[in-house]
Amino acid sequence: MTLFCTEKVPLMILGTSSGAGKSLLTTAICRYLCRIGENPLPFKGQNMSNNAWIDEEGGEMAYSQTVQAWASQLVPSCAMNPILLKPKGDCISEVIHLGRSVGYANAQDYYNEWLDPGWSAIEEGIKRLIASKQSGRLILEGAGSPVEVNLQHKDLTNLRLAKFLNANCILVADIERGGVFAQIIGTLALLKPEEKKLFKGIIINRFRGNLSLFNEGREWIEKQTGIPVLGVMPWIEEIFPPEDSLDLMERRINKPNAEIEVAIIKLPSLSNFSDLDPLNAEPSINLRWIELTDSIGAPDALIIPGSKQTIKDLQKLKETGLANQIKEYEKEGGTIFGICGGLQMMGSTLEDPDMLETTKSYKNNYEGLGIMPIHTIFQKKKYLSQRKLFACWPGKTEIMGFELHHGETNLIGTTQTEFINFSEDSSLGWIKDNDDKGFIGGTYLHGVFDNGVWRRLWINKLRRRKSLKELSIEQSNHNERIERIINRLTDSFTDHINIKKVICS
């Protein structure tokens, strides 16, 4: 019997593998429960992602749990994702507990050194969530596969949590990957009897074609496992930024009427790639990801996104020759916009006195790309906050977003510079605007493209340069689009999945 009791039995969504669709289905379940009058409390004990969000108290959490909070009609809280691992490369991750950085761990030693503190963070997260809404139902998302036999005894966020909370479990299998019967039978065969009895339903995800063609398969699964198949979800386009950035970059959306090409540098330690999702949703914009070995070409704008390891990624740009291409593109009048780490790279110099990013190097001073007169010094202080303020460029309009960075950046030679402040907060970025001939600059504000009016003003500067008709700036913010997508996803879920027997048991 757990000490964490709510009025409703917790529900846990587990997958036969990573990428089976747990996050999206958890999102749909949260919104479905809201529709029938329940109070879902989304929770993922441990997540590994560099796609982060900052809650109202300045705590870091995974973006996927943020979306689930929105689906639950709740304000996102780091209690919903008490452990966030942010990969830095070389099998090392930053460890975030309940929104705060608590150190770094390598893969080999993680479970030896961080198991007990991690479990304490998970318990505290659950405690906080239940205290916020005693009538709520915990909706738990697992991670990867729950039956990795070499990790099961130290797995924090799958079966240990399911047993601890005596949750009703749903197993999700991705038929698109192939071998769906083996996925299901193999997963269940590796469960202990006390674990298997927790599983109350199976969902087949990402089925292409006529769903009736799977009727025999459904019957076979139920007969072999004794567990009901709750339904078969049809294939739907990946409509949220997934936790694996490769999915976003490999996403191909046909936009026959697109008039603007925006190229994005695919940094090795790319972070917060959800910053680009609002641009991806613009019908007039084609996004093109640039590998380190690619040619930049002649896009209408080039974006250097955020990075978990700014200096290391900067060095990679130099080693591969892409840095020279960026500088040449700028000299020829190209438009370049940097976000967070991308802004830092664009500067003259970067300094790392405490070796926060350069632990394997004797150097602590680095030359940037040299296309902005700014200097960055990395500090132990981590800037974590939501922001709401007015942009000064490309027009005075209210914007929202969040800061998530080490390092303080300052403009060099401010007396006669061509660079202007990006916003009313002079520390958030700078812009050199050549009117309709392009612009160079960037900002620390993550989520800046989420702001509909600002985004359209930004796009219209690109359009004027090509003598294209300007788009209306009367544009909703990206969160309204996400809301529509959540509802569309939930409609499909409701049409194809019968979850009533699981939530009522």
**pLDDT for res 238:** 44
End position of a domain, from candidates 194, 209, 239: 239
- pLDDT greater than 80 at residue 103: yes
Single-letter amino acid, residue 219:
E
202 and 114 inside one domain: yes
CB atoms within 10 A of CB 372: 28
What is the average per-residue pLDDT within 135-155?
A: 92
**pLDDT for res 359:** 57
Under the banding of pLDDT at 50, 70 and 90, the label for residue 362 is: low
**Residue 227 placed within a domain:** yes
264 and 139 inside one domain: no
**pLDDT for res 254:** 66
77 and 116 inside one domain: yes
Secondary structure of residue 57 in the 3-state scheme: coil
**pLDDT for res 144:** 93
What radius of gyration, in Å, describes the C-alpha atoms of the chain?
A: 24
End position of a domain, from candidates 193, 212, 239: 239
pLDDT digits (tens, 9 = 90+) for 232-272: 999 875 444 544 334 544 555 668 889 999 999 999 999 99
- pTM for the model stands at 0.93
222 and 343 inside one domain: no
In sequence order, what are the residues at sequence separation of 6 or more whose Cβ sits closer than 8 angstroms to the Cβ of residue 415?
none
**Residue 286 placed within a domain:** yes
pLDDT digits (tens, 9 = 90+) for 391-404: 999 999 999 999 99
**Residue 499 placed within a domain:** no
Residue among 140, 23, 418, 478 at smallest CA distance from 279: 478
d(CA 249, CA 262): 13
**pLDDT for res 245:** 36
Residue-averaged pLDDT of the chain: 92
d(CA 252, CA 463): 23
Phi and psi torsions of 140, nearest 5°: -100, 130
Question: Which residues are catalytic, by number?
Answer: 340, 446
338 and 373 inside one domain: yes
What is the average per-residue pLDDT within 311-325?
A: 97
According to DSSP, residue 143 is labeled -
383 and 353 inside one domain: yes
Better pLDDT: 382 or 362: 382
pLDDT digits (tens, 9 = 90+) for 405-433: 998 999 997 555 789 999 999 999 999 99
In sequence order, what are the residues at sequence separation of 6 or more whose Cβ sits closer than 8 angstroms to the Cβ of residue 102?
95, 96, 117
Q: Report the CATH number that the domain containing residue 216 is assigned in CATH.
A: 3.40.50.300
Phi and psi torsions of 245, nearest 5°: -60, -25
According to DSSP, residue 335 is labeled -
Helix 22-35 crosses helix 478-496 at what angle (to 10 degrees)?
A: 90
Better pLDDT: 438 or 250: 438
**pLDDT for res 503:** 86
Q: Are the C-beta atoms of residues 238 and 247 closer than 8 Å to each other?
A: yes
**Residue 421 placed within a domain:** yes
Under the banding of pLDDT at 50, 70 and 90, the label for residue 89 is: confident
d(CA 183, CA 201): 15
**Region for 166 from its dihedrals, namely left if φ exceeds 0, alpha if ψ lies in -120 to 50, beta otherwise:** left
d(CA 413, CA 401): 28
Range of the domain at 20: 11-239
What is the average per-residue pLDDT within 68-82?
A: 98
d(CA 325, CA 346): 13
**pLDDT for res 285:** 95
CA torsion through residues 365, 371, 377, 378, sign: negative
Q: Report the CATH number that the domain containing residue 382 is assigned in CATH.
A: 3.40.50.880
Under the banding of pLDDT at 50, 70 and 90, the label for residue 496 is: very high
Number of H helices, E strands in the chain: 15, 25
In sequence order, what are the residues at sequence separation of 6 or more whose Cβ sits closer than 8 angstroms to the Cβ of residue 101?
60, 94, 95, 382
Phi and psi torsions of 95, nearest 5°: -105, 120
d(CA 425, CA 101): 26
Single-letter amino acid, residue 338:
G
**pLDDT for res 422:** 98
**Residue 503 placed within a domain:** no
**pLDDT for res 455:** 98
Tokens of 135: 């009538």
Count how many residues are written for the chain.
505
- pLDDT greater than 70 at residue 388: yes
The single residue listed with the structure tokens 């593109």 is 329
CA distances from 351 to 365, 374, 410, 472 (A): 5, 11, 12, 42
d(CA 402, CA 298): 31
Under the banding of pLDDT at 50, 70 and 90, the label for residue 4 is: low
**Residue 500 placed within a domain:** no
282 and 158 inside one domain: no
**Residue 1 placed within a domain:** no
**pLDDT for res 472:** 97
Under the banding of pLDDT at 50, 70 and 90, the label for residue 6 is: low
Phi and psi torsions of 127, nearest 5°: -60, -45
461 and 337 inside one domain: yes
214 and 300 inside one domain: no
**pLDDT for res 91:** 86
Q: Which residues of 201-210 are buried (b: 16+ CB within 10 A; e: fewer)?
A: bbbbbbbeee
End position of a domain, from candidates 195, 216, 239: 239
Q: Are the C-beta atoms of residues 489 and 483 closer than 8 Å to each other?
A: no
pLDDT digits (tens, 9 = 90+) for 167-195: 999 999 999 999 999 999 999 999 999 99
Residue among 308, 374, 387, 313 at smallest CA distance from 343: 374
233 and 256 inside one domain: no
Give bridge partners of residue 390 from the DSSP assignment: 398
Least confident of 89-93, 107-111, 161-165, 253-257: 253-257
d(CA 123, CA 103): 19
Please give the tally of structural domains in the chain.
Answer: 2
What is the average per-residue pLDDT within 85-104?
A: 92
d(CA 455, CA 451): 6
267 and 407 inside one domain: yes
DSSP-derived pairing of the beta strands 137-141 and 11-15: parallel
Tokens of 114: 């961080």
CA distances from 175 to 23, 381, 496 (A): 16, 45, 15
- DSSP letter for each residue of 66-123: HHHHHHTT----GGGS-EEEEEEETTEEEEEETTEEEEEEETTTHHHHHHHHHHHHHH
137 and 268 inside one domain: no
Residue among 183, 134, 123, 185 at smallest CA distance from 157: 123
**pLDDT for res 256:** 82
**Residue 463 placed within a domain:** yes
**pLDDT for res 479:** 92
Residue among 459, 60, 482, 454 at smallest CA distance from 277: 482
**pLDDT for res 246:** 40
Better pLDDT: 494 or 3: 494
